[in-house]
Structure 1
Amino acid sequence: MKSYLSASAYIDFDHPGVAAEAKALARGAHSELALVQRCFEFVRDEIRHSHDFKLNPVTCKASDVLWYATGYCYAKSHLLAALLRANGIPTGLCYQRLPVNDDGAPYCLHGLNAVYLQQFGWYRIDARGNKPGVQAAFTPPVEALAFAINEPLARDLPEIWAEPLPCVVEVLERYQDVDDVLRHLPDVPLLDPPAALRHKR
């Protein structure tokens, strides 16, 4: 679990501002579940999704996400990981592959988290921010994520990463405007196309 508890360049809970926020969120939380829910709801509700609110700057590091109170889903997952790790709760990064416009290509990655709960094991949470049609919640052991996988080339990618994927960091650090990020959202190639598509070749 060491890698899921460590500070790093992008999950920088050793930054004074992140450390202070993590401590404030822990105050009065009398159980692990209560603490995780408090951190999750803080990032989900108080950190505004960059595209939903058309907010700059583009953020990547947890400390920047907290300072500017905005970030794409990936950046928000970095902050949530930082707040939870600062409180000794193993937390990783997960990704889904989703259609950008809900109707086929192009596709992009969507960033979320997995947290290790003593009572339930690894449990995914999605703090991207709720809006009409998107209602993510903390309801262990049942997942309540922002997006369902209901399209042939969409995927729940199974890995739990200790650090952000390089393609995600590259986009967030290259582009300085939220609309530029939207035009260059990161994606990964599928290595396992559905059987129905393989048979059509």
Structure 2
Amino acid sequence: MIVSLRSACMQLIQETPDLSAYLAADEAIDHHHALVRETAARLAEGVADSYEYARAAFEYVRDTIPHSQDSGDLRVTWRASDVLEQRTGICYAKAHALAALLRAEDIPTALCYQKLEVVHGLVAVRFNGAWHRQDPRGNKPGVDAQFSLDGERLAFTPDPASGESDSSRLHAAPHPAVLDVLKAARDRPQLWRTLPTEL
């Protein structure tokens, strides 16, 4: 099991001080779309509060939408509604879907990234005045990401000795380098050859 506990000295930095930016819809995080709204409403049924909803949304994206590399799916998705409809995506796409589901229920959500062999995408949610990173990538042998506001339980822990790192920046919208490669790829093999290694 891989568990990532963020260093106490790492401060997550908002790209903008305006929290409403982390609730906004855009072309990738299209939480105004009917399918996103319907999915959010279904997940919200019977939950006690925003925290329980956030956990349910995280587990829904993590567990019911396979990471396309793990499943062998060749399709490339990037818009949240398409991820939910086609039920496939890589880390960035799954992060867009989770961000849309959370923002649909007025939970401020940022996009964030790790520099591994290639750039890896995840989200951060804001609860109790603080940001908490979550990784809906999808579990597999050696990966056990969990929803947590009490110490990070991410899919991967960067290895600084190998040049890997966590980015402290909280993006209100997908990074253009990420969105550009997703939109340009005709299939996952092409996407794999063009994934950004830096932002």
Matched, 1:88 2:106: yes
Deviation at 1:64, TM superposition (A): 0.5
Point out the structure with the larger strand share: 1
Paired letter, 2:189: D
Paired letter, 1:111: G
**Counterpart Cα distance in 2 of 1:58 and 1:74:** 11
Q: Where does residue 174 of structure 1 map in the other structure?
A: 184
Q: Which runs of 5+ in 2 are unaligned?
A: 1-18
Equivalent in 32, 44, 54 of residue 26 of structure 1? 44
Matched, 1:131 2:140: yes
% same residue: 45
Deviation at 1:178, TM superposition (A): 0.9
Q: Where does residue 11 of structure 1 map in the other structure?
A: 29
Count of residues in correspondence between the two structures: 180
Q: Where does residue 102 of structure 1 map in the other structure?
A: none
**Counterpart Cα distance in 1 of 2:141 and 2:91:** 16
Q: TM-score, normalised by structure 2?
A: 0.88
- Give the match's secondary structure for 2:139: coil
Q: Which runs of 5+ in 1 are unaligned?
A: 100-107, 190-201
Q: Where does residue 113 of structure 1 map in the other structure?
A: 123
Q: Where does residue 103 of structure 1 map in the other structure?
A: none
Whose Rg is larger? 1
**Counterpart Cα distance in 1 of 2:104 and 2:192:** 30
Q: Is the 8 A contact 2:74 2:189 kept in 1?
A: no
Q: TM-score, normalised by structure 1?
A: 0.87
Greater relative contact order (Cα < 8 A, sep 6+): 2
RMSD of aligned residue pairs (Cα, Å): 1.1
- Give the match's secondary structure for 1:4: helix
- Give the match's secondary structure for 2:172: coil
Paired letter, 1:124: R
**Counterpart Cα distance in 2 of 1:57 and 1:149:** 27
Equivalent in 154, 175, 178 of residue 165 of structure 1? 175
